[in-house]
Amino acid sequence: MGHISRCSPSHKIFLDLSDDLGYSYLGSRTISQDVSSVTGKPQSVARAALNAVGGDQHEACALLMSGLSVAVTGGPCEVASLELGSPAWVGGEGVVSSVGSFAGSFILRFPRYCRERVDLLSLETIEVFMIAASGTQGPHWTTDEELSSPEISAPLDNACLQRKTFKPGPVSFSLEHVELILITVVRNNGSLPPRNSHQSPAPAVDSCQTPNHGPAPSTESRTSGNLAAANLQWIGDLGAGSFGSVHLARTAGGTAVAVKRVRVTSGHEMREVQMLRKASHPNMVKFVDSFSWNSPDGQACVCIVMEYLPENLHTRINGRPLSAWYVRHFSVQLLTAATHLDALQICHRDLKPENILLSQDDVLKVCDFGSAKLLGRGPSCNYVCSRWWRAPELILGARDYRTSVDWWSCGCIIAEMMSGQPLFRGDSSWGQMYAIVRILGTPTQREMQSLVPEQDGQRLAQHFASLVKLRRSGRPWAELLPAFAHLSSSLAIPRKLLTYCPKDRCHPSMLLSAPFLSSRSEVKLPGTSEPKSKRRHQAQHGHLVERNPKRRCLLVSA
């Protein structure tokens, strides 16, 4: 759980922003611009942090990287979790007897009947809920009758619940006529995952959307390979991805197949066919055939025919943690696939839940080899892999990387199965690096040297060098993946894959012998006495059936 606190100079993190050559990254522009660049926060937030700490750029950087969501910068206030039996005001008067609709939220305590102003620094978008005397309302505050207010043992005056949303930056309001203040952080969990950097702005390849009927290639315009292309019954569209579009079709024998249509441009179309042939494995999507086709506008295309699987791991997760049985089952298959690709020296370069298909009997198959490359043939492109699953060396511009970039993606995917949400959710390249540091902590100098390319002068590498010197520790894995905190051996799987140094990432074949994955004993769910195999029919879509009630953890670490 995250926290909010008062700004304090006693927790200084001294930051040396000069490299060994004496080059200073701060000072070339305004201080707020430089603090913003180093921390990844908007310049307005950086400016507010500087104001909160008296203009000291080192303290401002430390504050923005501290993990706080909200800091108290003025007023006789303190912040605590909203819990049953906890004091409602400073001084101990009154206790919380019911949390109402605010389970997991926080309370901003102040002396009862205090009428001073409160000053906060918000590092996230927050909603402030004010329980105020009925008939009084602050400017731009709106009444909220949908949420039930907490109950306090001490009687409250006739009060109503009001709320106001504040964007990141300084927040100030008066306590006039206010009884209680509650704070939550607004999280946008419904955002779409980013695409591979090579992808077009269209739905992901091999997605399991219901096909939309559309025009099919004419029989005359197709030339067949081994498969009788003219006999394919074209059903509809499935989506589009890295280098083409995907369609649903049926063979003369009635078998549903996925047909990926790739425009003939720079050789990507034939490379994908070669990769699919070479990577043949039970945990890879099955290649059926390929044939050429001319589109109505005269563009030459290659059609790649593959087996059709209607579900992928993204839809199976569906925003919720999978059960321990399914995490083990899918992780073993994913790591087996990664081991196979490593043996072939094929780097997939776009592993993510949407590119992992599932059969009806839960066989996992990696698909979409549009970005894949056989290593050892010169420098590789670093602007690959969808951002949330992209290894840090790719973010920092490395061009000489190995299959360990896929192992990082595997760690992200396994953690996502355990939590129900992507672990690192940056909104830009630098934002992704910042998201990784917030969770794993700052890398050591050795780890940094293994990540930064040999070329000097790269902007992200310079910012990263400054960020490293903040020396921030990582968050506990049990806190990151609470649904699996009771299975400590399971947490070792993502932890051993998600390391900064590529050479430190555990080889997938070695992880297959890890206790959590190799154990043949039944996995018991928390609070149950029956093994998972006896309860499998109750695990709808593979999700946890018995787990703690959903917590509204709205205030989480920045």
pLDDT at 210 over 70: no
- The span from the CA of 227 to the CA of 229, in Å, is 6
Per the annotation, does 286 bind a ligand?
A: no
| Model pLDDT, residue 78 | 84
151 contacts: CB under 8 Å, gap ≥ 6: 96, 97, 98, 100
| Model pLDDT, residue 192 | 56
pLDDT digits (tens, 9 = 90+) for 129-184: 988 877 677 777 888 777 888 888 887 767 788 888 988 888 888 888 888 899 88
Are the C-beta atoms of 44 and 92 separated by less than 8 Å? no
Q: What is the CATH number of domain 219-307?
A: 3.30.200.20
Are the C-beta atoms of 340 and 279 separated by less than 8 Å? yes
Angle between helices 31-39 and 57-64 (to 10 degrees): 30
pLDDT digits (tens, 9 = 90+) for 15-68: 333 333 233 334 446 788 777 766 667 788 888 888 877 888 777 777 776 666
pLDDT digits (tens, 9 = 90+) for 355-398: 999 998 999 999 988 888 888 866 677 667 888 999 998 888 88
| Model pLDDT, residue 513 | 92
- The span from the CA of 465 to the CA of 488, in Å, is 33
| Model pLDDT, residue 268 | 63
In terms of CATH, what superfamily is 312-542?
A: Transferase(Phosphotransferase) domain 1 (1.10.510.10)
| Model pLDDT, residue 185 | 79
Quick check: helix, strand or coil at residue 120? strand
Least confident of 23-27, 71-75, 188-192, 521-525: 23-27
pLDDT digits (tens, 9 = 90+) for 390-437: 999 888 888 888 999 999 999 999 999 999 999 999 887 778 888 898
**252-276 residues labelled b (16+ CB within 10 A) or e (exposed):** eeeeebbbbbbeeeeebbebbbebb
| Model pLDDT, residue 106 | 84
Residues forming beta bridges with residue 163, ordered by sequence position: 129, 142
Pair of tokens at residue 82: 């909203």
Residue 136, Cβ density class (10 Å: 0-12 exposed, 13-18 middle, ≥19 buried) = middle
| Model pLDDT, residue 364 | 96
Decide if 350 is catalytic.
yes
**425-455 residues labelled b (16+ CB within 10 A) or e (exposed):** bbeebbbbbbbbbbbbebbeeebbebbbbee
- The span from the CA of 125 to the CA of 123, in Å, is 7
| Model pLDDT, residue 473 | 83
Annotated active-site residue in 289, 350, 368, 406: 350
Structural domain spans, the chain: 3-185, 219-307, 312-542
Model pTM?
Answer: 0.63
